[in-house]
Amino acid sequence: MTPEEPPRFRVHPSPIGDILIVTTVDGIVTLHPFDGPLHTEIERVALRLRAVPVPDEGTDAADSVFDVAIDQLDEYFEGDRREFELPLDWRLVRGFTRAALEAVCDIPYGETASYGEVAVMAGTERAARAVGTACATTPFSIVVPVHRVVRADGSLGEYGGRPDMKRFLVELEQGPGIPQAPSAADPGGAEATDAAGAEGLDASSDETEADAPGASVDAKLAAGV
């Protein structure tokens, strides 16, 4: 990315709320639902990228990354897509976090895996806590399906203060039919949970519940991922 080619963004509506899509010349650098003001999200992303995303004017060819991403998201929410085929720019993800998120991508549609199981898939058996952090700080929601990662006892967890969103995505994939869309988040609740970063430990494991699709970028900044 050069100063002449700033990151660009679009906002796309979905059953779980508006989704912010930001791209660079290398692909999608972040894709996540958000509840707060758009300008606040843009400022947070700009801080991470050290460049201010500008609105996409939609002047590119019909097969631009934005158009392809939006088409695939719509197909997913309609129950017609099980895998995403999108170029991802991983520049905001480092170290084990990337290994964990790539392992999450291997969880089949309609299935779930525990943090510990994902740690094994990522090649570090005792890294369940780190998997929780990776899920909480991922810049990619839905297209990297952190909603498929659950607690050791099979419960879904809080999902950054939006357990209804996580349940919607899991039920969408497990079917049958399209589940009822989640209601709007409690402005205070989600922010407080995201700021906390993680829930209490499962007494039977060393896992944390810190997964949050589109976890607030504040949490991402704090984690320094």
pLDDT digits (tens, 9 = 90+) for 32-68: 999 899 999 999 999 999 999 999 987 665 569 999 9
Tell me: the pLDDT tens digits for 118-147?
999 999 999 999 999 999 999 999 999 999
Q: How far apart are CA 162 and CA 106, in angstroms?
A: 24
The single-letter DSSP state of residue 28 is E
Contact residues for 28 (Cβ-Cβ < 8 A; gap 6+): 21, 22, 65, 69, 86, 87, 88, 89, 140, 143
Give residue limits of the domains in the chain: 8-77, 96-223
pLDDT above 80: residue 216: no
Q: How far apart are CA 114 and CA 132, in angstroms?
A: 10
Q: How far apart are CA 29 and CA 12, in angstroms?
A: 15
- 111-166-32 Cα angle (round to 5): 105
Backbone angles phi, psi at 48, to 5 degrees: -70, -40
Average pLDDT, the chain: 82
CATH number of 96-223: 1.10.10.10
Q: What are the C-alpha distances in Å from 134 to residues 13, 40, 75, 149? A: 25, 23, 26, 11
pLDDT above 70: residue 213: no
Q: How far apart are CA 140 and CA 215, in angstroms?
A: 9
Give the lowest-confidence range in 22-36, 54-68, 107-121, 185-199. Answer: 185-199
Say what the pLDDT of residue 199 is: 35
Q: In the block, which residue shows the tokens 């504040």? A: 218
pLDDT band (50, 70, 90) for residue 185: low
Say what the pLDDT of residue 93 is: 97
Name the amino acid, one letter, at 86. Answer: L
pLDDT above 80: residue 189: no
Say what the pLDDT of residue 184 is: 61
Say what the pLDDT of residue 176 is: 73
Q: What percent of the chain has pLDDT over 70?
A: 75
pLDDT band (50, 70, 90) for residue 179: confident
Q: How far apart are CA 67 and CA 86, in angstroms?
A: 11
